[in-house]
Amino acid sequence: MASRNIYHTKQQEELLKYLRSKPGEHHTVAQIRDHFSRGDQTIGTTTIYRQLERFVAEGTVRKYLLETGDSACYEYVEQNHDCTSHFHCKCEKCGRLIHMDCDELQEIRTHLLKDHGFSWDAGRTVFYGICDRCQPD
């Protein structure tokens, strides 16, 4: 039984190491599983889900639910990185998720609350379009 816990801890460490090695990138469980299936250490899908949810609960990883039917994305976050006060843009071509601090959008958020009594959750708000990398020249 003890060796199973050590093995479990090793998988957890490997998963966190992988996410840390790709700062600012967002990964689905399928992408993570595919990465580990090509390497020396295979991590099962259930274990990946369980560990990611644990990391989310600890605040080490952020989970994004982008669209109905889409898989969730996960991103490693540095300590003291606040993702609830800015907005997100998702490229419909490459899938990149961009963190966007924008005073104009904060003004709209303030307006909605003050004048309409609506609290806009910036951390869960995603704008869809085409990023600068995918725009035609």
Q: Are residues 33 and 52 in the same domain?
A: yes
* pLDDT of 1: 39
Instruction: Please indicate, yes or no, whether the overall pTM of this predicted structure exceeds 0.85.
Output: no
Q: Are residues 21 and 75 in the same domain?
A: yes
When divided into structural domains, the chain yields a total of 2
Helix (H) or strand (E) run with residue 126 in it: strand 126-129
Mean pLDDT of 48-63: 87
Backbone angles phi, psi at 110, to 5 degrees: -65, -45
Instruction: Domain of residue 106: give its range.
Output: 82-137
pLDDT 10s digits, 57-111: 887 888 877 665 667 888 887 654 555 567 788 888 887 778 787 888 888 889 9
| Burial status of residue 103 (CB atoms within 10 A of its CB: 0-12, 13-18, 19 or more) | exposed
CATH number of the domain enclosing 111: 3.30.1490.190
Q: Are residues 59 and 17 in the same domain?
A: yes
